[in-house]
Amino acid sequence: MSLSKETEVIFDAHRGIDYDSANPPLYDSSTFHQQILGGDVQYDYARSGNPNRALLEEKLAKLEGGSHAFAYASGIAAISSVLLTLNAGDHVILPDDVYGGTFRLTEQILTRFNIEFSTVDTTHLKEIENAIQDNTQLIYVETPSNPLFKITDIRGAADIARDNNLLLAVDNTFMTPLGQSPLALGADVVVHSATKFLGGHSDIIAGVAITNNQTVADALYLLQNGTGNALSAQDSWTLAKHLKTLPVRFQQSVENAKQIYDFLAQCDEISEVYYPGNNELHLSQSHHGGAVLGFRLKDETKAQAFVGALSLPLVSVSLGGVETILSHPATMSHAAVPKAVREERNITFGLFRLSVGLESADELISDLNYAFKEAFNESTTRQTKIQHISR
């Protein structure tokens, strides 16, 4: 019987032969019994393999349509492993608005190992082509990008990679495997910060890299085992359980985000709204606009006043939780990027990223509306705030 992705992620068809329960047991063990000395065993030491991590990786691979998945201790650990499959002297093409953690990794750490990086606007395929050097081995893209929601043509980038014998890696954190399938569009590797939508409850840190390329898979496992950055048994067990609610969580967040976009697009206090659901290229390679959007205040000096007037969103780093999370890229996700570089890339103090959760869309809109009015010094009272939150 062939199952949809949504059904597959909810229905655990791989309970194993040694138990029959709604959830698999937690194999909270660092080591495993070996009956035959020198024999070929499935598990020996938990750094090298664990039943909970193996089950999780199988489910993640199926979700992305890959043959191999590798769960890591964080999203940046997964990205690090993909980049460390390269050799000294190799060259990588990155987006010019790459996630701040990836920027720090590539600028301050991996350059020590003589791996070279160039940043381009990957939304223009010609810039990717022009950046290719004799030593280029990998094109790495984020789409939608963080935090300006720029869209890269995955099919077009895959064509360039294939024509030049390069690999293409895509960060699919924002869209999840239920919203976008980069491997089916020609990518060689997909990475996620599984801390975000895949986990969805803001209670674990995790990452995953998925591929159909056996050579890449062998390299990723060597790094997972050899550097010891694999996801723990406990977190693998937790993440596998959280995946069961991914379809309903993500669908509700996507629906809420569309309503909030419609509201933000009409706000006088906002100069720009960034929402992938309005981009034809994005919709040609994804199912919808996703659950994360961005906006910029007309008066950027009002940023702190706006945050201070909010009641419902969690003002924090991260995204993809059941709660709505408002992030300030300049001081959070992209704080590792020098100020001059941030401003050059239009990541200014008035820019916000909103990851929409499962709360009532009407209540979120009411709270945002109040905060805009309060920050921009329009007539409001404390009683108004009490009323709009208690409705």
9 and 63 Cβ atoms separated by less than 8 Å: yes
Known active-site residue 47: yes
What is the DSSP code (8-state) at residue 91?
E
Cis check: omega of the bond before 95, within 30 degrees of 0: no
| From 5, 15, 47, 241, active-site residue | 47
Bridge partners (DSSP) listed for residue 142: 171
Known active-site residue 196: yes
The Cα 243–Cα 9 span in angstroms is: 6
Please spell the DSSP secondary structure of 297-327, one letter per residue. Answer: ESSGGGHHHHHHH--SSEESS---SSS-EEE
| From 53, 59, 62, 196, active-site residue | 196
| From 12, 90, 171, 188, active-site residue | 171
Q: Using N-to-C axis directions, what is the helix angle for 51-64 and 233-243, rounded to 10°? A: 40
24 and 12 Cβ atoms separated by less than 8 Å: yes
> In terms of C-beta distances under 8 Å and separation of at least 24 residues, what long-range contacts does 4-7 make, across chains too?
5/62, 5/63, 5/177, 5/178, 5/247, 6/178, 6/247
Known active-site residue 385: no
Bridge partners (DSSP) listed for residue 353: 294, 327
Cα 259 off chain centre by: 22
Task: Annotate 347-365 with b (16+ C-beta within 10 A) or e (fewer).
Answer: bebbbbbbbbbbbebebbb
Alpha helices (H) in 228-296, listed in sequence order? 233-243, 246-264, 280-285
| From 27, 72, 99, 275, active-site residue | 99
Known active-site residue 43: no
Please spell the DSSP secondary structure of 277-301, one letter per residue. Answer: GG-HHHHHHBSS--SEEEEEESSGG
Q: Which residues are marked as active site?
A: 47, 99, 171, 196
